[in-house]
Amino acid sequence: MSLIAPADQQKLRDAFSEMTRPVHLLFFTQALGCETCVQTRGILDELPLLSDKIAIDEVNFVLEPDQAAKYGVDRVPAIAVEYEDAGERRDSRIRFLGAPSGYEFVSLVRAVILAGGGESMLSPAGRARLASVDKPVTMQVFTTPT
Amino acid sequence: MAFASPQITAYAVEATEYPDLARKYQVSGVPKTVVNDQVEIMGALPEGPFIEQALQLTSGK
């Protein structure tokens, strides 16, 4: 049984149809001691069913520590959003820590569409300002599952 | 924003699953944004002010 209602599945299919390039969700997980990893896998498994441009790449957090370090992931469940551009894998530098349920799921969907070539929600002025940043910036946005 | 700049990495953190992080950054309400462990932005702001607050430490001044 799907976790997503049929009407919402159709809305998501329509939204994902905007995508022009493949998106990979790197799902960092571990088998033991991670309740929400199972929940997260269940949510993520729904997405490739709604778009052939979305793939889930599972990364074992315990067995592949170098992958976790590469993506700045120090806990699970975590998701890193990547995309393919001209055949090359690129990191969107968008991460999700914790299960993407509730409103976080909407944020994840937006991130997937953006990485997949969809329109930015930012204004041209905002994008120009951000493009001028010349030092590393790490932003953590705290949310709750409501 | 991360998508608009190669310098920016963005984490969406589920606060109830990571109480240690929520405590470290004294998250009492959401959304709360922490930039480079130093700048705190409470709540949602319009795009322009949000970007300026987020980048205030990186403006090169």
Going from N- to C-terminal start, the domains of chain A cover 6-131
A44 within 8 A of A56, measured Cβ to Cβ: yes
A54 within 8 A of A20, measured Cβ to Cβ: no
A72 within 8 A of A92, measured Cβ to Cβ: no
pLDDT digits (tens, 9 = 90+) for B37-52: 999 999 999 999 999 9
How far does chain B reach from its first CA to its final CA, in angstroms?
21
Nearest by CB to B7, from A95, A108, A134: name it.
A134
Nearest by CB to B13, from A125, A135, A141: name it.
A141
Q: Comparing C-alpha atoms, which of B31, B42, B37, B27 is closest to residue B58?
A: B37
ipTM > 0.85 for the complex: yes
Whole-number Cα distances in Å, A107 to A81, B9, B20, B22 = 12, 15, 23, 19
Q: How far apart are CA A121 and CA A127, in angstroms?
A: 10
Statement: residue A28 has pLDDT above 80: yes
Contact A93 B2 (CB under 8 A): yes
Residue type, A100: P
Residue positions counted in chain B: 61
Q: How far apart are CA A122 and CA B2, in angstroms?
A: 11
Q: Say yes or no: B32 contacts chain A, CB-CB below 8 A.
A: yes
Contact residues, chain A, for B17 at CB < 8 Å = 36, 97-99
Q: How far apart are CA A106 and CA A112, in angstroms?
A: 10
Contact B14 A104 (CB under 8 A): yes
- Average pLDDT (A64-81) is 96
Q: How far apart are CA A137 and CA B36, in angstroms?
A: 6
Does domain A6-131 fall under CATH 3.40.50.150? My reply is no
Statement: residue A52 has pLDDT above 50: yes
Residue type, B31: P
Does residue B31 have a cis bond before it (omega within 30 degrees)?
A: yes
Contact residues, chain A, for B52 at CB < 8 Å = 129
A80 within 8 A of A73, measured Cβ to Cβ: yes
A72 within 8 A of B9, measured Cβ to Cβ: yes
pLDDT, averaged across chain A = 94
- Average pLDDT (A28-51) is 95
